[in-house]
Amino acid sequence: MPEIAYVNGEFVPLARATLSVDDRGTQYGDGVYEVIRTYGGRLFAADRHFARLRRSAAAILLPEDDERLVAIESIVSDAVERGGFSESLIYVQFTRGTAPRGHLWPKGLRPNCVVTVRPFAIDLERERREGVKVVLAPDLRWGRCDIKSLNLLPNVLARNEAREKGAFEAVFVDRDGRVTEATTSNVFVVENGALLTPPLRPNLLPGVTRSIVLELARSEGVPLREAETTREALLAADEVLLSSTTVEVLPVVKIGDRPVGDGGPGPVHARLFAAFRAAAKSA
Protein backbone atom coordinates (compact mmCIF):
# COMPACT_ATOMS: atom_id res chain seq x y z
CA MET A 1 0.00 0.00 0.00
CA PRO A 2 1.33 3.48 -0.76
CA GLU A 3 2.45 5.90 1.92
CA ILE A 4 0.05 8.82 1.76
CA ALA A 5 -0.15 12.46 2.75
CA TYR A 6 -2.89 14.96 3.38
CA VAL A 7 -1.92 18.47 2.26
CA ASN A 8 -4.36 21.33 2.80
CA GLY A 9 -7.48 19.31 2.12
CA GLU A 10 -6.20 16.83 -0.46
CA PHE A 11 -4.97 13.25 -0.05
CA VAL A 12 -2.07 12.37 -2.35
CA PRO A 13 0.68 9.73 -2.58
CA LEU A 14 3.51 10.80 -0.31
CA ALA A 15 5.90 11.18 -3.25
CA ARG A 16 3.60 13.86 -4.73
CA ALA A 17 3.07 15.85 -1.54
CA THR A 18 4.57 19.33 -1.76
CA LEU A 19 4.55 22.76 -0.13
CA SER A 20 5.86 26.02 -1.51
CA VAL A 21 9.47 27.01 -0.85
CA ASP A 22 7.92 30.10 0.75
CA ASP A 23 6.26 27.99 3.44
CA ARG A 24 7.17 29.62 6.76
CA GLY A 25 7.85 26.23 8.29
CA THR A 26 10.70 25.81 5.80
CA GLN A 27 11.89 29.41 6.05
CA TYR A 28 11.65 29.93 9.80
CA GLY A 29 10.62 26.72 11.53
CA ASP A 30 7.36 28.62 12.08
CA GLY A 31 5.06 25.75 12.92
CA VAL A 32 4.12 22.94 15.29
CA TYR A 33 3.72 19.19 14.97
CA GLU A 34 2.68 15.92 16.60
CA VAL A 35 3.62 12.27 16.16
CA ILE A 36 1.03 9.59 16.89
CA ARG A 37 1.10 5.84 16.50
CA THR A 38 -1.35 2.97 16.41
CA TYR A 39 -1.60 -0.29 18.31
CA GLY A 40 -3.80 -2.99 16.81
CA GLY A 41 -4.57 -0.48 14.08
CA ARG A 42 -6.09 1.96 16.60
CA LEU A 43 -4.77 5.41 17.40
CA PHE A 44 -3.21 5.50 20.84
CA ALA A 45 -3.58 8.46 23.23
CA ALA A 46 -4.81 10.52 20.28
CA ASP A 47 -6.89 12.84 22.46
CA ARG A 48 -3.77 13.84 24.40
CA HIS A 49 -1.79 14.41 21.21
CA PHE A 50 -4.52 16.54 19.65
CA ALA A 51 -4.91 18.58 22.84
CA ARG A 52 -1.16 19.24 22.91
CA LEU A 53 -1.20 20.14 19.21
CA ARG A 54 -3.87 22.75 19.85
CA ARG A 55 -1.95 24.13 22.86
CA SER A 56 1.19 24.43 20.74
CA ALA A 57 -0.75 26.08 17.91
CA ALA A 58 -2.29 28.59 20.29
CA ALA A 59 1.11 29.32 21.84
CA ILE A 60 2.50 30.44 18.47
CA LEU A 61 -0.71 32.33 17.63
CA LEU A 62 -2.03 30.12 14.87
CA PRO A 63 -5.75 30.76 14.30
CA GLU A 64 -7.68 28.43 16.56
CA ASP A 65 -10.69 28.46 14.22
CA ASP A 66 -8.78 27.04 11.24
CA GLU A 67 -11.14 24.36 9.98
CA ARG A 68 -8.38 21.75 9.64
CA LEU A 69 -7.15 22.30 13.19
CA VAL A 70 -10.74 22.02 14.39
CA ALA A 71 -11.27 18.82 12.38
CA ILE A 72 -7.82 17.28 12.83
CA GLU A 73 -9.19 14.16 14.58
CA SER A 74 -11.32 13.19 11.58
CA ILE A 75 -8.55 14.07 9.12
CA VAL A 76 -6.08 11.80 10.91
CA SER A 77 -8.60 8.96 11.23
CA ASP A 78 -9.35 9.22 7.52
CA ALA A 79 -5.62 9.26 6.69
CA VAL A 80 -4.97 6.13 8.76
CA GLU A 81 -7.87 4.32 7.12
CA ARG A 82 -6.66 5.29 3.65
CA GLY A 83 -3.14 4.16 4.50
CA GLY A 84 -4.38 0.71 5.43
CA PHE A 85 -1.20 -0.34 7.25
CA SER A 86 -1.39 -2.90 10.04
CA GLU A 87 0.39 -0.38 12.26
CA SER A 88 0.92 3.27 11.38
CA LEU A 89 3.12 6.20 12.35
CA ILE A 90 1.30 9.49 11.81
CA TYR A 91 2.97 12.90 11.54
CA VAL A 92 0.82 16.03 11.81
CA GLN A 93 2.21 19.48 11.02
CA PHE A 94 0.75 22.98 10.96
CA THR A 95 2.85 25.89 9.72
CA ARG A 96 2.06 29.60 9.68
CA GLY A 97 1.41 29.43 5.96
CA THR A 98 2.98 30.54 2.68
CA ALA A 99 4.22 34.11 2.23
CA PRO A 100 7.26 35.97 0.85
CA ARG A 101 10.13 35.73 3.29
CA GLY A 102 9.94 38.31 6.06
CA HIS A 103 9.86 38.19 9.84
CA LEU A 104 6.42 39.83 9.99
CA TRP A 105 3.72 37.48 8.76
CA PRO A 106 0.86 38.95 6.70
CA LYS A 107 -2.44 39.38 8.49
CA GLY A 108 -4.98 36.73 7.64
CA LEU A 109 -2.35 34.22 6.53
CA ARG A 110 -3.81 30.73 6.10
CA PRO A 111 -1.89 27.93 7.84
CA ASN A 112 -0.58 24.96 5.92
CA CYS A 113 -1.61 21.55 7.22
CA VAL A 114 0.24 18.32 6.42
CA VAL A 115 -0.49 14.81 7.68
CA THR A 116 1.61 11.83 6.63
CA VAL A 117 0.95 8.15 7.28
CA ARG A 118 3.70 5.54 7.09
CA PRO A 119 3.94 1.97 8.31
CA PHE A 120 5.30 1.79 11.84
CA ALA A 121 8.56 -0.07 11.34
CA ILE A 122 10.68 0.82 14.40
CA ASP A 123 11.99 -2.35 16.04
CA LEU A 124 13.58 -1.74 19.44
CA GLU A 125 13.17 -5.18 20.97
CA ARG A 126 16.94 -5.77 21.22
CA GLU A 127 17.46 -2.32 22.73
CA ARG A 128 14.68 -3.03 25.19
CA ARG A 129 16.21 -6.33 26.24
CA GLU A 130 19.78 -5.05 26.48
CA GLY A 131 19.28 -1.35 27.25
CA VAL A 132 20.82 1.60 25.46
CA LYS A 133 23.67 4.04 25.90
CA VAL A 134 23.16 7.80 26.16
CA VAL A 135 25.55 10.73 26.32
CA LEU A 136 25.13 14.12 27.98
CA ALA A 137 24.84 17.33 25.98
CA PRO A 138 24.55 21.00 26.96
CA ASP A 139 21.00 22.27 26.59
CA LEU A 140 21.37 25.09 24.06
CA ARG A 141 17.74 25.18 22.94
CA TRP A 142 15.30 28.09 23.15
CA GLY A 143 13.28 28.72 26.28
CA ARG A 144 9.89 27.37 25.11
CA CYS A 145 10.51 23.69 24.60
CA ASP A 146 7.05 23.07 26.05
CA ILE A 147 5.81 24.06 22.58
CA LYS A 148 6.22 21.16 20.16
CA SER A 149 7.61 23.38 17.43
CA LEU A 150 9.59 22.70 14.28
CA ASN A 151 12.71 24.32 15.79
CA LEU A 152 14.72 21.14 16.32
CA LEU A 153 18.23 21.96 15.09
CA PRO A 154 19.89 21.61 18.54
CA ASN A 155 18.12 18.27 18.98
CA VAL A 156 19.25 17.12 15.54
CA LEU A 157 22.88 18.10 16.16
CA ALA A 158 22.96 16.50 19.61
CA ARG A 159 21.32 13.27 18.43
CA ASN A 160 23.76 12.92 15.55
CA GLU A 161 26.72 13.61 17.82
CA ALA A 162 25.38 10.90 20.14
CA ARG A 163 25.29 8.47 17.23
CA GLU A 164 28.91 9.31 16.38
CA LYS A 165 29.77 8.35 19.97
CA GLY A 166 27.96 5.03 19.67
CA ALA A 167 24.99 6.17 21.74
CA PHE A 168 21.26 5.88 21.16
CA GLU A 169 20.32 9.28 22.60
CA ALA A 170 21.66 12.52 24.05
CA VAL A 171 20.32 13.82 27.36
CA PHE A 172 20.28 17.58 27.77
CA VAL A 173 21.71 19.21 30.89
CA ASP A 174 21.12 22.93 31.39
CA ARG A 175 23.64 25.54 32.58
CA ASP A 176 22.58 24.94 36.21
CA GLY A 177 23.39 21.23 35.94
CA ARG A 178 19.74 20.13 35.77
CA VAL A 179 18.56 17.38 33.46
CA THR A 180 15.77 18.58 31.18
CA GLU A 181 15.01 15.85 28.63
CA ALA A 182 16.60 13.91 25.79
CA THR A 183 16.53 14.97 22.13
CA THR A 184 13.40 12.95 21.33
CA SER A 185 12.22 11.66 24.69
CA ASN A 186 11.55 12.44 28.33
CA VAL A 187 13.86 11.15 31.07
CA PHE A 188 13.15 9.29 34.31
CA VAL A 189 15.55 8.11 37.01
CA VAL A 190 15.00 5.46 39.66
CA GLU A 191 16.44 5.99 43.13
CA ASN A 192 15.86 3.33 45.81
CA GLY A 193 12.82 2.01 43.94
CA ALA A 194 11.24 5.45 43.49
CA LEU A 195 10.64 7.01 40.08
CA LEU A 196 11.72 10.64 39.55
CA THR A 197 11.33 12.88 36.53
CA PRO A 198 11.93 16.60 36.00
CA PRO A 199 8.83 18.73 36.63
CA LEU A 200 7.07 20.37 33.72
CA ARG A 201 8.38 23.83 32.94
CA PRO A 202 8.93 25.84 29.75
CA ASN A 203 12.24 24.18 28.87
CA LEU A 204 10.93 20.65 28.43
CA LEU A 205 8.09 19.04 26.53
CA PRO A 206 5.04 17.71 28.38
CA GLY A 207 5.39 14.28 26.81
CA VAL A 208 2.24 12.27 26.18
CA THR A 209 4.02 9.01 27.02
CA ARG A 210 5.56 10.73 30.05
CA SER A 211 2.07 11.48 31.39
CA ILE A 212 0.97 7.89 30.80
CA VAL A 213 4.06 6.50 32.55
CA LEU A 214 3.32 8.67 35.59
CA GLU A 215 -0.26 7.40 35.71
CA LEU A 216 0.92 3.79 35.38
CA ALA A 217 3.48 4.26 38.14
CA ARG A 218 0.73 5.44 40.46
CA SER A 219 -1.55 2.56 39.55
CA GLU A 220 1.32 0.08 39.96
CA GLY A 221 2.24 1.47 43.36
CA VAL A 222 5.66 2.70 42.26
CA PRO A 223 6.66 5.68 44.44
CA LEU A 224 7.20 8.74 42.26
CA ARG A 225 8.11 12.39 42.42
CA GLU A 226 8.33 15.16 39.88
CA ALA A 227 11.52 16.83 41.08
CA GLU A 228 14.58 18.55 39.71
CA THR A 229 17.09 15.96 38.57
CA THR A 230 20.75 16.90 38.52
CA ARG A 231 23.53 15.54 36.39
CA GLU A 232 24.98 13.91 39.49
CA ALA A 233 21.66 12.23 40.35
CA LEU A 234 21.39 10.92 36.80
CA LEU A 235 24.86 9.38 37.00
CA ALA A 236 24.15 7.84 40.41
CA ALA A 237 20.69 6.45 39.53
CA ASP A 238 19.78 2.79 39.97
CA GLU A 239 17.87 2.94 36.68
CA VAL A 240 17.36 5.51 33.93
CA LEU A 241 14.40 5.35 31.53
CA LEU A 242 13.43 7.16 28.34
CA SER A 243 9.84 7.61 27.20
CA SER A 244 8.28 8.73 23.93
CA THR A 245 5.66 7.73 21.38
CA THR A 246 8.17 5.75 19.32
CA VAL A 247 10.41 4.22 22.04
CA GLU A 248 7.58 3.66 24.57
CA VAL A 249 9.56 3.01 27.78
CA LEU A 250 13.23 2.21 27.13
CA PRO A 251 15.97 1.36 29.66
CA VAL A 252 19.30 3.21 29.70
CA VAL A 253 22.20 1.04 30.87
CA LYS A 254 25.14 3.33 30.14
CA ILE A 255 25.79 7.08 30.30
CA GLY A 256 28.92 7.74 28.31
CA ASP A 257 31.31 5.06 29.56
CA ARG A 258 29.63 4.80 32.95
CA PRO A 259 27.19 1.94 33.66
CA VAL A 260 23.78 2.68 35.14
CA GLY A 261 23.10 0.58 38.23
CA ASP A 262 24.26 -2.96 37.63
CA GLY A 263 24.62 -2.32 33.90
CA GLY A 264 21.39 -3.94 32.76
CA PRO A 265 17.67 -3.11 32.50
CA GLY A 266 16.11 -2.93 35.94
CA PRO A 267 12.91 -4.11 37.66
CA VAL A 268 11.13 -0.74 37.58
CA HIS A 269 11.54 -0.57 33.82
CA ALA A 270 10.24 -4.12 33.42
CA ARG A 271 7.20 -3.34 35.54
CA LEU A 272 6.35 -0.07 33.82
CA PHE A 273 6.95 -1.36 30.32
CA ALA A 274 4.68 -4.35 30.90
CA ALA A 275 1.98 -2.01 32.23
CA PHE A 276 2.45 0.36 29.30
CA ARG A 277 2.13 -2.37 26.68
CA ALA A 278 -0.96 -3.71 28.39
CA ALA A 279 -2.53 -0.25 28.42
CA ALA A 280 -1.62 0.40 24.78
CA LYS A 281 -3.04 -2.87 23.55
CA SER A 282 -6.28 -2.47 25.50
CA ALA A 283 -6.90 1.17 24.55
Active site residue 165: no
Mapped onto helix, strand or coil, the DSSP state of residue 160 is: helix
Phi-psi region at 138: left, alpha or beta (left = phi > 0; alpha = psi -120 to 50): beta
C-alpha distances in angstroms, 259 versus 194, 221, 229, 254, 266? 19, 27, 18, 4, 12
Instruction: Judge contact between 75 and 117, C-beta under 8 A.
Output: no
Kindly report the backbone phi and psi dihedral angles of residue 208, in degrees, each rounded to the nearest multiple of 5, phi listed first. Answer: -65, -45
* Euclidean distance between CA atoms 152 and 150, whole angstroms: 6
β-strand pairing of 186-191 with 258-259: unpaired
Catalytic residue among 107, 148, 254, 281: 148
**238, 261 Cβ separation under 8 angstroms:** yes
Distance separating alpha carbons of residues 190 and 213, to the nearest angstrom: 13
Residues annotated as catalytic are 148
